[in-house]
Amino acid sequence: MSEKRFWNEKMETLDREQVERVRLKRLRKQLKYCYIHSDFYKRKFEEAGFLPGDIKTWEDFRKIPPLMDKEEERKSQQESIECFGHPFGVHLCCPPEKIVMAKTTGGTTGLPTFSYSFTQHDYDRWNEGSARGYWLAGLRPGDRVLFCFPLSGGWAGSIIKEPLQGMGVLCLDLGAEAPIEKIVEYARITRPNVLMSTPSFAEALIETYPKLTGKPASDLGIKKLLLSGEPGVAIPSIRKRMEEAFEGRWNDYLMINSEGFSSSCTANEYQGLHEVALDLSIWSDDLIDLDSKKAIEIKDGAIGEGLITSLDREGLPLIKYKLGDVIQVFTKSCECGYPGPGNRIKHIGRLSDRLFVEGVGVFPIAVRDVVTFFIPRVTGAMRIVLTEAPPNISPPLKIKVEHGSGVEQSQLPDLAREIEERMLQLYRVRSKVEFVPPEALGRVTKKTPMFEERYR
């Protein structure tokens, strides 16, 4: 059994200087390639006032404003459907026949996007970047993964399992929409040792497994939890409960919009996501301010919106793509000893989920952080109740919280006050807590909503 420390020792152990050299070379090549092979990028570069040859240093690149976002991507796709009869967008840089894999994102609003569409070269690149992340997160050949993400067929979520086979990992794919009884039955036959799903699904399993089998969830034998798609792993109380229930270890990973390969490491305390493929894309080194959209300095603790730029991508490279995700970067080296010069990243949330209470910006993850601090007096389940359309909220911010099962009614007013005080101290936000009994908010196996939208 292989026990190498890195998936790709050569590329993951480059020092900063070597990485910068590789990146700059690939960046200049990628820009030139996009300019030559796509009228879309040619126009974008010219509108932003530069030619690929102008980009000689990292600083030159950082000055370029964001060039694309999801809406632009949809427009680009619409145009290519109408003009060229394919859905990939006019930012496609190769003949459409070269695309050998096409996966869409959810597409709950508007046209689904095809960012996860690859030529063979890009598919190999995707598998390489992803495998580095999974390796760091503890996946090894011979592992058996119970794979339970929603819509495990054509949706982009399924593509996270594609690199597993190349790593020698068995993927047992049932999809989160299968009835949980079926999933449990299947798991008891196949005996997976890894679960890949959303944290919500894992929680549903913790609650359902004992009801169905009379045994605790740890009976499943799952020792590695690779949970992603929702916050949670960074919150010690939530992580502890999850790890105790399975008697396993929880790691998360992110391959954002088919780029930005990253995963958490084996450090005891959660240290964020390590970027593991600096030679394949640029993400956390290219941050912009949330409001002014201007480049901000990359230093320990900086918070901004990360711009994605592909390196060495053939079909659908992204250049300065504004994804709408807010991240915090940590530049100091990690206690795990992972040697790459990449930053560590904490995913703060979607910029569109930011609320303003009396002018103070707050993300749902902050509210969840405050509430879960009080586990076990609360269950951890909560909703932010919106009685008016976001983002501007009249105070107090209304939070609906499930109290813990052992808490008396008479203790609730004091508990509410404690939560409200912590919210005010940490985030300067006035809030009002309303309690509901345990499990009153229901449990879902896909993604737990943060908001209860009463204004709709």
Contacts with Zn ion by CB under 5 A lie at 265, 267, 271, 334, 336, 338
Residue in this structure with the two tokens 């560590």, named with its chain if needed: 344
Q: Which residue, 298 or 336, has its beta carbon nearer to Zn ion?
A: 336
State how far the Cα of 166 lies from the Cα of 242, in Å rounded to an integer: 29
Report, in Å, the least distance between residue 278 CB and Zn ion. 15
- Using DSSP bridges, classify how beta strands 253-255 and 273-275 pair: parallel, antiparallel or unpaired: unpaired
**139 is written with which tokens?**
């996946």
Conformational region of residue 108, where left means phi above 0, alpha means psi within -120 to 50, and beta covers everything else: alpha
DSSP 377-426: TEEEEEEEEESS-SSEEPSSEEEEEEEPTT--GGGHHHHHHHHHHHHHHH
What DSSP state is assigned to residue 8?
S
From first CA to last CA, the distance across the chain in angstroms is 55
- Kindly tell me which of 217 and 265 has the beta carbon lying closer to Zn ion: 265
The minimum distance between CB 134 and Zn ion, in angstroms, equals: 15
Give the rounded distance of the alpha carbon of 205 from its chain centre. 21
Which CB atom, from 261 or from 338, has the smaller least distance to Zn ion?
Answer: 338
- Could you tell me the smallest distance in angstroms from the CB atom of residue 334 to Zn ion? 3
Nearer to Zn ion, 269 or 291 (CB): 269
How far apart CA 399 and CA 383 sit, in angstroms, is 6
Q: Do 198 and 176 form a contact (C-beta atoms < 8 A)?
A: yes
Q: Least separation, in Å, of the C-beta of 184 and Zn ion?
A: 33
Angle between helices 39-47 and 16-37 (to 10 degrees): 110
We find the least distance from the C-beta atom of residue 140 to Zn ion, in angstroms, to be 18
Minimum Å distance from CB 265 to Zn ion?
Answer: 3
- Neighbouring-strand partners of residue 171: 145
Q: By C-beta, is 268 or 292 nearer to Zn ion?
A: 268
Closer residue to Zn ion, CB minimum distance, 105 or 271:
271
Burial of 425: CB neighbours in 10 Å, binned 0-12, 13-18, 19+: exposed
Least distance in angstroms from the C-beta of 154 to Zn ion:
34
Q: Please say which residue, 137 or 205, places its beta carbon nearer to Zn ion.
A: 137
Place of tokens 């305390």: 269
